[in-house]
Structure 1
Amino acid sequence: MFVSRSILAPVAAAVALVPAPVLAQATGDLAAVQRHLQSVTTMTADFSQTDRAGKVLTGTVTLKKPGKIRFQYEKGVPLLIVAEGGALTFIDYSVRQVQRWPIRNSPLGVLLDPDRDITRFAKIVPSTDQRLVSVEANDPKHPEYGRITLVFARDSAAPAGLMLQGWVALDGQNNRTTIRLSNQRFGAPVSDSTFRWNDPRRGGRQN
């Protein structure tokens, strides 16, 4: 495939304007994020969720790789989000509604697949705070999948030297959700039964 030098020239010029130490730092940070995502097998944490309207919900999140996550909302909130078996499931018990879609079509997919090479579709987001590392991931071939920006704090005691602080997810309909984490715990045993859920359409039958 022939690519005109005139097309590549502006790209090369733009890269040349970025100081080498900055490029090296970004490359190193992206590699550290990859190592973090590959090394974490389980995680539990408290979370607060803010939607685009500013509504805040809290709860606990449990992650187990590959492919499993559960958002258990605070008491009185009839919602549940569970990923297992390749699908992300949203359950609204107040109206007995269940929605499912492939995890790979969700921005959360980047958190759940330890074999995914994020260096192919992610980039470091520049920040003036050197204590933080932010990385934006999206599939340019499938913009309808949305994108996610993961935020880490540098922490030598955390996996790969990074502590996941949360993320901002933008779905295919431009709905923005911000998740902030606290009390993160890594590596504790998590039973697969954690990701079972009661289907409101089947009289409480468990999935």
Structure 2
Amino acid sequence: MFRYLSTALAACAVAAAPAAAQGNDLSAVQRHLQGVTTMTADFSQTDRNGQVLTGTLTWKQPGNIRFQYQKGVPLLIVAEGGALTFVDYSVKQVQRWPIRNSPLGVLLDPSRDLSQFAKVVPDADPRLVSVEARDPKHPEYGRITLVFARQADAPAGLMLQGWVALDSQNNRTTIRLSNQRYGVPVAGNAFKWVDPRRTAGRK
């Protein structure tokens, strides 16, 4: 699914794809992000070393996402209140930074105009739409390539399949989604997390 074309093939694909069609696809991705209220899915995460972790994803617009890793993995990633939080319970470490400074910002702020920082990239499979987003003014934020499948009953006719994120050091993380469900109820406390630096209580 996450195949990349050679430079030559990519150039041919760009030439063959009318600019209007690419613009329509980018507009559809914008409508998708604006049309999502909630989504849950299973995810598989592959890092630069090939390590694979799995878990469940909960997403609620605007600005909330949770990666709950498989049992036995002491990690948690949560976005809420404008901040993205990474928690490592094994060492009682918490890292937080603004969502807008993360590649995930493109998913979590549907009000942003994609045409200002994103573009459709060629994909060998016409059933897929791939969009690369990055802030040219802040390359240190990294970039993300979102992959969607065309599916009529999904928001704006697109089903999010996953993404590939590159940080400023070119460390690649690939997320693949399955069992996606849109518009499902999400508990009010779904994005709360236990702070390991405290003896008790929740943030």
Residues 1-207 of structure 1 mapped to structure 2, 5 A cutoff:
18=15, 22-207=18-203
TM-score by length of 1: 0.89
Instruction: Give the total of aligned pairs.
Output: 191
Distance between the aligned counterparts of 1:100 and 1:80, measured in 2? 12
Distance between the aligned counterparts of 2:90 and 2:44, measured in 1? 21
Distance between the aligned counterparts of 1:192 and 1:65, measured in 2? 13
Where 2:56 maps in the other structure, the secondary structure is strand
Q: Give how far 1:119 is off.
A: 1.4
Which deviates the most, 191-200 or 54-63?
191-200
Where 1:194 maps in the other structure, the secondary structure is coil
TM-score by length of 2: 0.91
Structure 1 residue ranges, 4+ long, deviating more than 2 angstroms after superposition: none
User: Which ranges of structure 2 fall in alignment gaps of 5 or more residues?
Assistant: 1-10
Where 1:130 maps in the other structure, the secondary structure is coil
Distance between the aligned counterparts of 1:90 and 1:205, measured in 2? 18
Larger helix proportion of the pair: 1
Distance between the aligned counterparts of 2:169 and 2:187, measured in 1? 34
Distance between the aligned counterparts of 2:95 and 2:169, measured in 1? 16
Q: Give how far 1:128 is off.
A: 2.1
Q: Percent identity?
A: 75
Q: Give how far 1:204 is off.
A: 3.6
When the two chains are superposed, the root-mean-square deviation of aligned CA atoms in Å is: 1.4
The equivalent of 1:6 in structure 2 is: none
Deviations 1:124-165 (A, max 9, x none): 011221010000000000000000000001111111010000
Deviations 1:57-80 (A, max 9, x none): 000000011111000000000000
Q: Give how far 1:18 is off.
A: 3.7
User: Which ranges of structure 1 fall in alignment gaps of 5 or more residues?
Assistant: 1-13
Deviations 1:82-136 (A, max 9, x none): 0111110000000000000100000000001121111111000112210100000
